Every structure is written in C-alpha cells, then in structure tokens.
Amino acid sequence: MNILLWHVHGSWTTAFVQGPHTYLVPVLPGWGPDGRGRAQTFSWPDTVREVTPEQLGDEPVDVVLLQRPEEFALAERWLGGRRPGRDVPVVYLEHNAPDGNVPDTRHPCADRDGLTLVHVTHFNRLFWDSGRARTEVIEHGIVDPGHLYTGRLPRAAVVVNEPVRRARYTGTDLLPALSDAAPLDVFGMRTEGLAAHLGVPEERCRARDLPQRDLHAAMAERRLYLHPVRWTSLGLSLLEAMHLGMPVVALATTEAVEAVPAGAGTLSTRPEVLAAAARRYLEEPDAAAEDGARARQAALERYGLKRFLDDWERVLTEVRS
C-alpha cells in the first residue's frame, strides 16, 4: 500500500515504517510541523518517501493515517480534493491521553463516520470519550535496540522532552527529591538549564539531548530508568529502557501499571517509595541487572515489533477493503 502520514512522533513512526509498505511523508520548506519530512535522528528505511503538497495531488494513496485534527483539511487539500473517509480510507491515530475535563474529554473524532480511531493504549481508549467512532487499540511496538544494559554508572536515567514547560505532567517537580536518592541524567529536548531551574546542583541533575543512536547506549550505562511522569499515554522511552534491560522505577499512573510487571522494577504512587527503590538499585547492582533482565523479557513479549506490525497490517487491510 501507499500510506500517507505526517512525521509527528519520530519514535512511533520508526516502528511503523518497518512494515512492508511505501510511506509518503509530506515535506515543506523549513520543515515545519506540517512538513517535517524524513527523520534526521532516527533510522528510517528507503520505503519512506518525502513528498511535497504539489506532488501529493498526483500520488496514488491507499490509506491516510492522520494524527492531528488539522490533518483532515490538509489531506483533502493536498490530495487534490480527495476526501479522507470518503474517497480515501482513513485511520486516525491517537497518541495522547486526554487533556482537560477528564474523564469526560470528547475526542475530536467522536462524531465522525468513515474512519477507524486507533488508540495506542487501553488506558487511552478507556479515558477518551470516542463517541460512535469505531475504535481499536494497537499497543506500541519497539525496534529492539538489544540487551545493552551494563548499569556501570550509579545514576538514574530519565528521558523527557521539555520538562520545564510540561512541569507537573512529566513529574518535573518530583526530581529534586528523587535526585537526593540517585543522581539523575535527564535526556531529551529542551532540557538545558534544568538543574538551575530546579535549584539542585548540576552533578545531581545533568541534562543532555542526544540522537536516538547515542541515547540507547547512554541510557544502558545508567543503573536504572526513572519514570516520574504523572500523566502521559505511555512513554516510548520507558519501553525502550525495558528493551535495553534496565530496571524501572516509575509512578504507578496511566498505562505504566500495565506495561511494567512484577519483578521488573518498582511502581508506586508514593515518591518516597520510588526514592527507596532507586537507592536499592544503586547499592545492589546484581538485583538491578536481574530485574532489568525480567523487564526486557516482558517488553519483548508484549511490545515486540512483529506483533505491532501484524496488528497494523490487520487494521490497514480492513479499512482498505
């Protein structure tokens, strides 16, 4: 199939484009949010083709995969008037947990016919009001980075983008106390100056932004993965850490309680419990490695790439038929 999708979520798209299709990704001068083109920091196969809006008008498109409400109008305009859901089959992918008026948040597709609404977690489908839209859940899949864990550095890895702006959503306010339990290495976009913002010494909360090819190796050197996020769909970095063989210390919120099984780390809604777990892993590296191995096995079984691609193949075939 020829599948049109926008480059919205680099990590998720990296898994999706491993399938057997041709993936048409819009590109614009300046690479703005409506035309980012191919990823620069992720490895995508040659089956991902950049297309301009002018080229899309003549492109055969079998399925449109939308991820933002504004893409309905973009797709119709750039496809030369072909309307998603009427002239071209459409799937709407919802990456995010609902925001505002929870649990009564109405999804933008709730009143739309002619599409399939795909949630990436069962938590999302439960909390969004999807109305009469046909819904599916296709859980995440991960391109396995391998069992890279060494845990040689007695520090905790945290991966979060824009921790200052996102604040309580990402649990940024919890980091000062957690950094007393384990020194933190925070990886992600717009993390510069995080230690100063939190009022903690730089050594207790170092911040860096790395491309994915370097990030996995850096994460795997840290003793544990810390996930203090209050409200999110399900961070792919959490699943990547588990694939790497890292033990997990995470807030027991949203889908994390389903993703991290017993024996793979510690889940709690009490930050002091997370702090105690982090200290234990620093003091007991063998226990950290054992829990990390169990985390990897659980992630491979539930979030493996083959299952993910098989699930998507089923849905894409259904909507195209």
Structure confidence by residue, pLDDT tens digits, 55-101: 999 999 999 999 999 999 999 999 998 999 999 999 999 999 999 89
**Nearest in space to 223 (alpha carbons), one of 286, 294, 160, 144:** 286
Q: State the pLDDT at residue 197.
A: 96
CB 94 within 8 A of CB 71: no
Q: In the prediction, which pLDDT does 305 show?
A: 97
First to last CA, the chain: 12
Residue 26 has pLDDT above 90, yes or no: yes
Question: Is residue 213 over pLDDT 90?
Answer: no
Specify the residue for token string 């940024």: 172
Indicate the average pLDDT of the chain: 96
pLDDT band at 212 (very low <50, low <70, confident <90, very high): confident
Look at the pTM and tell me if it is higher than 0.75: yes
Amino acid at the residue 123? F
Residue 78, token pair as written in the block:
């750039």
Tell me: cis bond preceding 98? Omega within 30 of 0 counts.
Answer: no
pLDDT at 205: 97
Q: Give the whole-angstrom CA distance, residue 37 versus residue 49.
A: 8
Model pLDDT, residue 269: 98
Spatial distance between the Cα atoms of 77 and 72, rounded to a whole number of angstroms: 9
In this structure, are residues 78 and 104 in contact, taking their beta carbons and an 8 Å threshold? no
Tell me if the domain spanning 153-303 has CATH number 3.40.50.300: no
| pLDDT (tens digit per residue) in 110-169 | 988 899 999 999 999 999 999 999 999 999 999 999 999 999 999 999 999 999 999 999
pLDDT of 43 strictly over 90: no
pLDDT at 163: 96
Express each pLDDT in 255-289 by its tens digit: 999 999 999 999 999 999 999 999 999 999 999 99
Look up tokens 């027991």; give the residue: 252
Query: Crossing angle for the helix pair 236-244 and 285-302, nearest 10 degrees?
Result: 120
Residue with token string 């929870």: 102
Sign of CA dihedral 293, 295, 298, 303: negative
Task: Say which DSSP state 171 is in.
Answer: T
Q: Tell me the C-alpha to C-alpha distance, in Å, between residue 232 and each of 176, 186, 191, 229.
A: 21, 17, 18, 7
Other CB atoms within 10 A of residue 60 CB = 9
